[in-house]
Amino acid sequence: MTTATADVRIRRPRHHEQLTLELQEAGFPYFRDILTFAAAVGFRFSRRTGFTEAAGDPIRYETLTVPPFSETLINAIAVNVISDDPEIMDAGRIEERVKIFEEYANGGLEYIQEQVNVRHQPAALVVVDMVSEALSDSGGARAASVDELLGGASWA
């Protein structure tokens, strides 16, 4: 049975409600942004944690995927987790992909909360530090030459 995306909802874990509210006050305008960031953090640190109790109203799938990269992140995480099953991308398995996303978002929130507790800093500072560390680990953004930008382009 295929579930229409209009019927799919994304839950946020009740036990991280205080942290999500703190992150919202710190500059994440919507819960969808918090969950997307948290899922990326959870995936980065291999933190996948299930939960049963949800907070507030679930977020409609269409609302979560308004920024085009959100759906890409949901799908990329699912494909990496279930790499031996290309059918994970079938429309009928959207709820499975969403569940994986929710679990990584919960794991990411768990990781962020641990960092808040260990560092004795507000969540906003922890997030800034995490982003700075991620950029420095990857070498950060760097200027690209015109040749690099046009590399592989053919004008013929």
Per-residue model confidence as pLDDT tens digits over 9-34: 999 899 999 999 999 998 898 999 99
- Tokens representing 27 are 């500059």
What's the whole-model pTM score?
Answer: 0.82
Locate tokens 């013929």: which residue? 156
Rounded CA separation 130/93 (Å): 32
Angle at 45 between CA 42 and CA 47, to 5 degrees: 50
pLDDT at 1 over 50: no
pLDDT digits (tens, 9 = 90+) for 128-143: 998 888 888 666 556 6
